[in-house]
Chains A and B, each alone.
Chain A
Amino acid sequence: MMSMKFIERSSQVMAYVLLTVCACITLVPFIWLGFAALRNPEVYFDFQFIPRVRHVQMMAAPEDSELRKVWTAVLPSDGMEISAAAELVGADLVNRARNEHLIEYRNGKVAWDMMSLQYFRRLLSGNEFPFVRSFLNSVFYASVTAVFATLFCAMGGYALAKFEFKCRTLFTRIVLMALVIPGSLLLAPGYQLLFKLGLLDSYWGLILPGLAPAFGVFLFRQSMLNAVPTELMESARIDGCGEIRLFFEMILPMVRPMLGAFLLITFLGCWNNFIGPQIVLQTPSKFPLAVAIAQLKGIYSTEYGLLMAGTILSIAPVMALFLLLQKEFISGLTSGAVKG
């Protein structure tokens, strides 16, 4: 009995260890990202995470007379800080000594003064990069698309799930078929259509095509088939409830989790959409964050800290929203699959 318990106990510990290791691997890029955005440019490449104060340690006696200067300067107080050594003999010489492996660097205390919010300040100040504007564009594009797409899909799903009418089977078939049409097939003809309609470089050109995802209608149809009792609809009608009031006041609350899930799915999809805005929008004042940040990469290619700060500012809002909607989101996401 003891050993049985021991095995159970140790396998539980193993499970925890494995889960923790995986969780750490998952989190490392986020942590790295955070420190990369905080480290000052001078020390950006010297550390992967927290910048430290660096000390010089002598490794071998230099032959070169020039390099000997480093030796004589540093030797009296072995382990002096790099900045102090650089002040004495010049940063160039210290670098050279290090390249030739005459000295090594050793990390000391955390160098708090080597971290700052300068990149965030630069981004938010709006002088170099229209952050606030792009942020607003992203919020507008993502939330408006999410709200209307959810409404239209809920309405469509309701019609297909709960009503007997002529084209019901045909429409349902079409929706099911559209599920497997890859979005990329629509890129070229969709672009041509937007050109003909004069919708290129406008928000509508971006929002309208996203308002009728077949996937959404399918999800709402599935959830309403099960969640909405037809008898309830009939008795409400007998009580004199109008069709539109019926939908908003009775039907929608019944699929509340699905509403939340689909809102977030659409919001997330739009927020992270890159190829659509990249093709449709051409005026920078209309760019959402994903496009704006990707372009930051082209111009500030060597200022990694700035790029990382921009990345943080772009993913933080959806993370926050996810925390609010986590439960619904996951149940909505999986319901399509689990109920199959």
Chain B
Amino acid sequence: MSLSRTHPSWVPYFFIAPFLIIFSVFMVYPLLNSISLSAFQSYGPQFSTFVGLDNFKNVFQDPDFWTAVKNTLIYSCASVMIQLPLALGLAMLLNRPDVKAKGFFRLIFFSPALVGLVFVAILFGLLLGARDGLVNETLRHVIPGFPAEFFWLQRYVMPALILASLWIYVGFNMVYFLAALQSINRDQIEAAMIDGANALQRFVHVILPAIKPVAGFVVLLSIIGSLQLFELPFILLGGAGPENRGLTLVMYLYQNGFEQNDLGYASAIGWILAIFLMGIAIVHRRLTREEL
């Protein structure tokens, strides 16, 4: 990689200027501002009182916050533990040399990711109806003794969210895995086969190391994405749901900032979340040791 040196000196500044100006105004400034904002209790943008570090203290003392942390972590774990293995399995099926119509299947599996979360929430709100929902009706046919009403959206909120998220994201993540699998040299696998390696050995010794960088990226993406879950439960449950079973961290932020109108408190929550995410990113980098 070489860099241009024969250009007039204004050129790089000219090209980076539009991005940099907007980035500074709408990203850097609010980010810095939110540090001071988090030291105030506010009521809308026009009323505020200085409270020092009380916002952070109160966040940590609020049981709702810990409920949100718990729910968000459960969802996040499920995303990584259930979604990604399914996605990888699907990608491996699709990557078989003897499977045709790859593009067709990929298109189908990917399509739910195009549907906005608002629309997914509206759709699943009906699919998961307690009595007449398609999911329950199907389960009644499959599982004998399945109850006449099953309250996904009142009682089994997390399973409902995870179910919806599977529909949206399995295909999306599969696309990444598939791209990684396709970049593996088939000769390597065939060489392993000739050496007598069985399917499991081939998976562990050839495929897994080859897709490790992509897998690392997908895991990070899933964790960061799932920790910011908000729209899906917000529309699906019309809020946090009974007993705050669908309360997530970003919803907690939204409720405090835009329902209680305390922008200061919301900023404090935002920083807690941001620091947590940055921590994860650093740990992730340590673990994968990949240079960006």
Interface residues of A (CB under 8 A from B): 8, 12, 15-16, 18-19, 22-23, 26-30, 32-33, 36, 45, 48, 151-153, 155-156, 158-160, 162-165, 168, 171, 174, 176, 178, 180-193, 195-196, 208-209, 211-212, 214, 217, 225, 230, 233-234, 237, 243, 247, 268, 271-275, 279, 290, 293-294, 297, 304, 307-308, 311, 314-315, 318-319, 322-323, 326, 330-331, 333-334, 336-338, 340
Contacts and interface: CB of A to CB of B under 8 A. Distances in A.
Given A171-B16, A178-B27, A19 B257 contact: no
Interface string B216-239: 011000001001101100010000
7 contacts: A23-B105, A186-B31, A189-B31, A189-B270, A196-B45, A230-B4, A315-B119
A32 B16 contact: no
A254 B6 CA distance: 20
Contact of A165 (B13, B117, B218): B13
Given A186-B26, A334-B176, 19 more contacts: A23-B109, A163-B4, A164-B12, A180-B281, A182-B277, A184-B230, A186-B31, A189-B37, A192-B30, A214-B27, A273-B116, A274-B116, A274-B118, A294-B118, A333-B175, A334-B175, A334-B179, A334-B214, A340-B213
A315 B98 CA distance: 33
A270 B7 CA distance: 36
Q: Which 4 A-B pairs have the closest CB atoms?
A: A272-B116, A156-B19, A185-B270, A189-B30
A162 B6 CA distance: 11
A159 B7 CA distance: 11
B122 A294 contact: yes
A193 B114 contact: no
Interface in B165-185: 167, 171, 175-176, 179-180, 183
Contact of B116 (A8, A185, A314): A314
B286 interface: no
Interface residues of B, number: 95
Contacts of B119: 272, 290, 293, 311, 314-315
Contact of B179 (A214, A318, A323, A337): A337
Interface string B235-270: 100000000000001100110011000011011001
A42 to B, nearest CB: 15
A168 B281 CA distance: 23
A334 B167 CA distance: 20
Contacts of B107: 323, 326
Interface of B: 1-9, 11-16, 18-20, 22-23, 25-31, 33-34, 37, 45, 90, 93-94, 96, 98-99, 105-112, 114-119, 122-124, 126-127, 132, 134, 137, 167, 171, 175-176, 179-180, 183, 213-214, 217-218, 224, 227-228, 230-231, 235, 249-250, 253-254, 257-258, 263-264, 266-267, 270-271, 273-274, 277-278, 281, 290, 292
Contacts of A315: 114-116, 119
Contact of B224 (A168, A180, A243, A334): A180
Contacts of A26: 108-109, 111-112, 167, 171
B15 A294 contact: no
Contacts of A30: 111
Given A48-B137, A176-B292, A233-B4, A188 B12 contact: no
A46 B7 CA distance: 71
